[in-house]
Amino acid sequence: MKHHQTGAQSSTRLALSHTLPIIIGVTPFAIAYAVLGSAVSLQPLEIIAMSMIVFAGASQMVAVTMMQDPAVPMLLLVVTVALVNLRHLLMGVSMAPHLRHTSRPVQAAVAFFMIDESYALSMNRMQRFGFDIRYYFTCGAVFYIGWNALTAMGVFFGSLISDPFALPLDFVMPATFLVLVMPFLSQWPNILAALTAAVAAVLGALYLPGYWYIVIAAVLAAAVGAAVEGRLERRKGAQQHQPEEDRIDAV
């Protein structure tokens, strides 16, 4: 029992130490969202409620940005936000095998807390120690509380920022995501998948309308990573089944 408690405390402490520095990088993003929400005449409670219910920074930024144009129909706004969030479908597929023996309410909670940061941290830890649901939920809770607290801060103190677009979001957010991705780039399938995603995302952003490039880049990266990993597994299996005398001759 004591060992279990120690392990649980260790997971919680690790999650706290991993998430709190990232919250600092998210701060300008959350404040900018709140300031832009106020600029499009959303009420303070509406801005905070969106953070509490939607809990998806990129989608919230897209939504308030599109709200600046009164001619944009609500249906287009909803569809665009859904496209931005389609990457979570792929995240969920990769996590599903680790949640087969959990209850539906737990799976629903996992889906709600599934943001880029909590997913990246949890999957990186999973590669070394297996999936730790306590670690995952601690990360999710920290990000949820932090995101909503920062949103409220932006609502009440955002008037001090004259130009929210002057905030270094173009640097802060990509840098934050690069920090999350780098631990995964230790094996060839992950490296090639990351390169595929980067090239596809840049080309898609330049030549495709809307946010389809996010989904396309994610699907292409997953396909490349799976193909390379499958080929390496087949090669490894062939070597294991190779007759011993052939392996000695090859050496």
112, part of any domain: yes
Please indicate, yes or no, whether residues 28 and 136 belong to a single structural domain of this protein.
Answer: yes
Q: How confident is the model at residue 174 (pLDDT cuts 50, 70, 90)?
A: low
Please indicate, yes or no, whether residues 141 and 192 belong to a single structural domain of this protein.
Answer: no
Q: Which residues contact 118 (CB under 8 A, 6 or more apart)?
A: 19, 136, 139, 140, 143
Boundary residue ending a domain (133, 166, 199): 166
pLDDT at 247 over 60: no
Please indicate, yes or no, whether residues 138 and 214 belong to a single structural domain of this protein.
Answer: no
122, part of any domain: yes
pLDDT reported for residue 242: 61
Residue (of 230, 229, 199, 191) closest to 217 by Cα position:
199
Please indicate, yes or no, whether residues 141 and 196 belong to a single structural domain of this protein.
Answer: no
pLDDT at 70 over 70: yes
249, part of any domain: no
Please indicate, yes or no, whether residues 36 and 145 belong to a single structural domain of this protein.
Answer: yes
Please indicate, yes or no, whether residues 134 and 97 belong to a single structural domain of this protein.
Answer: yes
Q: What is the residue range of 218's domain? A: 185-240
27, part of any domain: yes
Query: Look-up: residue for tokens 């005398």?
Result: 245
Count of structural domains within the chain: 2
Q: What percent of the chain has pLDDT over 90?
A: 18
172, part of any domain: no
Please indicate, yes or no, whether residues 129 and 13 belong to a single structural domain of this protein.
Answer: yes
pLDDT at 245 over 60: no
Q: How confident is the model at residue 143 (pLDDT cuts 50, 70, 90)?
A: very high
146, part of any domain: yes
pLDDT reported for residue 5: 47
Please indicate, yes or no, whether residues 134 and 17 belong to a single structural domain of this protein.
Answer: yes
As to burial, measured by CB atoms within 10 angstroms (0-12 exposed, 13-18 middle, 19+ buried), residue 27 is middle
pLDDT at 113 over 50: yes
Predicted confidence (pLDDT) per residue in 82-101, tens digit: 877 877 887 888 888 888 88
Please indicate, yes or no, whether residues 227 and 122 belong to a single structural domain of this protein.
Answer: no
pLDDT reported for residue 205: 84
Residues 139 and 19 sit within 8 Å (Cβ to Cβ): yes
Predicted confidence (pLDDT) per residue in 48-68, tens digit: 999 999 898 888 888 888 887
Check residues 189 and 241 and name the one with the higher pLDDT: 189
Boundary residue ending a domain (166, 197, 225): 166
pLDDT at 163 over 70: no
pLDDT at 207 over 80: yes
pLDDT reported for residue 98: 87
Please state the pTM of the whole predicted model: 0.71
Least confident of 142-146, 196-200, 212-216: 212-216
Please indicate, yes or no, whether residues 98 and 11 belong to a single structural domain of this protein.
Answer: yes
19, part of any domain: yes
34, part of any domain: yes
Predicted confidence (pLDDT) per residue in 18-46, tens digit: 898 888 878 888 888 888 888 888 899 99
Please indicate, yes or no, whether residues 146 and 101 belong to a single structural domain of this protein.
Answer: yes
Please indicate, yes or no, whether residues 39 and 80 belong to a single structural domain of this protein.
Answer: yes
Residue (of 225, 224, 51) closest to 153 by Cα position:
51
Boundary residue ending a domain (137, 166, 195): 166
Residue (of 180, 251, 84, 29) closest to 76 by Cα position:
84
